[in-house]
Amino acid sequence: MMRWMRWASRLKRRWIKGEDTKPHTIPQHVAIIMDGNGRWATLRGMPRIAGHHAGMKNVRDIALAANDMGIHILTLYAFSTENWRRPKDEVEFLMGLPEEFLHIYLDELAEKNVQVRWMGKSNGLPPHTRRAVDEAAEKTAQNTGLILNFALNYGGRHELVQAARKLAEKVARGTLKSEDIDEARFSEELYTADLPDPDLLIRTSGEMRLSNFLLWQLAYTELIFVERYWPDFTPEDLKQAILTYQTRKRRFGAL
Ligand code: V0D
């Protein structure tokens, strides 16, 4: 409970007069599975990578909208440990997107006080991708606005296994007692150790699966699935998702 309290005062929630979402129940952590980029392109007779590129531009729009709404953390599933199985050309294109995104948008995001982070398996990313995301994280580490958190080379089961392994090593070395392993201690070994769990997960493009995303952290998260493909997902759709989230919260409170 105390861990997320730190976030309460982290960012002043701006409230826009006339807006119909309620400021006191804005989710502090929103996670998104940005699905449907390939299908968006195919539908237009374009190559899949054109969809990924359109999806990249949309990351900027939604991140700035989230920042304006006073969301504290936006965690985006950009590349999973399973995505390596895609065609080599597509993977190569995807691995160029962080650099392109940061080249175009980092200055603007940094100016708006956004902190860029990434989480995932550090081994396996091409060095050029790794360098770009690490530099962006370093450059924005002191920013106090939205935390824009990219899940890159991320797999939920892998995250859990590496947490178990780190704990086992500490027990073997005698620096941790097995009876001291509880949920709080376990979650300290996850990539999200210093973040509250997501309040809201949005998955675009109509698929209703978690696809190995944040398996531990989503235990109590409200799940919202929208039909819209990611490149077509607008700040207005984000606002609608938050309104739905708030309706659910209100119903829950009435029980
Ligand atoms: C493709 C839709 C931004 C999902 C969004 C390497 C599929 C566009 C980034 C990004 C991707 C990552 C880190 C960072 C800055 C930007 C990104 C990937 C894919 C996978 F620090 N969009 N984006 N990364 N797509």
Please name the residue that has the structure tokens 């949920």. 183
Q: Which of 75, 101, 119, 228 to mutate to test the pocket of ligand 1 (most atoms within 8 A of CB)?
A: 101
Closest CA to 29 of 254, 220, 251, 233: 220
Q: Can you tell me the distance from the alpha carbon of 27 to that of 199, in angstroms, rounded to the nearest whole number?
A: 6
**83 flagged as catalytic:** yes
Ligand 1: lining residues by beta carbon, under 6 Å: 34, 37, 52, 55-56, 59, 78-79, 94-95, 97-98, 101-102, 116, 118, 133, 136, 150, 152, 230
Q: Is the CB of residue 52 less than 8 Å from the CB of residue 38?
A: yes
pLDDT tens string, the chain, 255 residues long: the values are 444 444 444 444 444 445 566 666 899 999 999 999 999 999 999 999 999 999 999 999 999 999 999 999 999 999 999 999 999 999 999 999 999 999 999 999 999 999 999 999 989 999 999 999 999 999 999 999 999 999 999 999 999 999 999 999 999 999 999 999 999 999 999 999 999 999 999 999 999 999 999 999 999 999 999 999 999 999 999 999 999 999 997 776 676
pTM over 0.85: yes
Closest atom of ligand 1 to 56 CA is 8
217: tokens are 């952290």
Residue 107 among the catalytic residues: no
Is residue 101 within 8 Å of residue 150, measured between CB atoms? Answer: no
Q: Choose which residue among 76, 150, 204 to substitute to test ligand 1 binding: the one with the highest number of ligand atoms within 8 A of its C-beta.
A: 150
Q: Which residues of 140-162 are buried (b: 16+ CB within 10 A; e: fewer)?
A: beebebbbbbbbbbbbbeebeee
User: Please, what are the domains in the chain?
Assistant: 32-246 (3.40.1180.10)
